[in-house]
Amino acid sequence: MLTSVDPTFKYYFCLHANETLLRLENTPKLVIAAINGHCVGGGLEVALAADMRIARRDAGKIGLPEVNLGVLPGTGGTQRLSRLIGKSKAIELMVTGSTFTFERGKDLGILNEIFEHDNFMAAVMEYARQFCPPNKASKAVGRIKRAVQAGWELPLESGLALERENQQLLFESEDAKEGFSAYLEKRPATFTAK
């Protein structure tokens, strides 16, 4: 049974939820959302704050149907969805309030991958391991994320300066030395997060 909620509480909740999601977006760690069921409303807003989203095939639907309650996706949905898939398509999805299949979510660019039902979490973890040492230089992964997140709304020149700054920091790392050595020696690199 739904009951009336104090509007001050709603504002307080959204404010703190947005702060938490901003922290999720701004951590240098790669964040992957594993979607193992319906992902609508606030659940999708949390998933949109992740860097990548992977869903389990036939596990549910996805969407931002808040308009059907007379409100908007107020925990970052209006901002993150439009940045992810474009303004016009995001507005359409939100004003219709429709929910749709994970396959359509992938076609729209909301989901990165759809994995099979069997061993879903094990498959997600295996997918995530490719971005960690020894497979990838985790400092480079973090700096890529930081450059994209911070540079997204900057003028191009400022974004390029931010990219150069992050690149310079990486050139000084042990992993960069290993990466270049491995390239020259025609062998796979073994990164150590240093």
Residue 149 lies in a domain: yes
Please check the confidence at residue 54 and state whether its pLDDT lies above 80.
yes
Catalytic: which of 25, 66, 92, 116? 66
- The answer to whether residues 49 and 93 belong to one domain is yes
Query: What is the tens place of the pLDDT at every residue in 109-126?
Result: 999 999 999 999 999 999
Assess whether 174 carries a catalytic annotation. no
Give the least confident one: 4-13, 34-43, 138-147.
4-13
Selecting among 19, 45, 103, 153, the annotated active-site residue is 45
pLDDT digits (tens, 9 = 90+) for 59-101: 999 999 999 999 999 999 999 999 999 999 999 999 999 999 9
Whether 172 sits among the annotated catalytic residues: the reply is: no
- Spell out the SS3 assignment of the chain: CCCCCCHHHHHHHHHHHHHHHHHHHHCCCCCEEEECCCEECHHHHHHHCCCEEEEECCCCEEECCHHHHCCCCCCCHHHHHHHHHCHHHHHHHHHHCCEEEHHHHHHHCCCCEEECCCCHHHHHHHHHHCCCCCCCCHHHHHHHHHHHHHHCCCCHHHHHHHHHHHHHHHHCCHHHHHHHHHHHCCCCCCCCCC
Residues 34, 102 share a domain: yes
- Domain total of the chain: 2
Average pLDDT over residues 143-154: 91
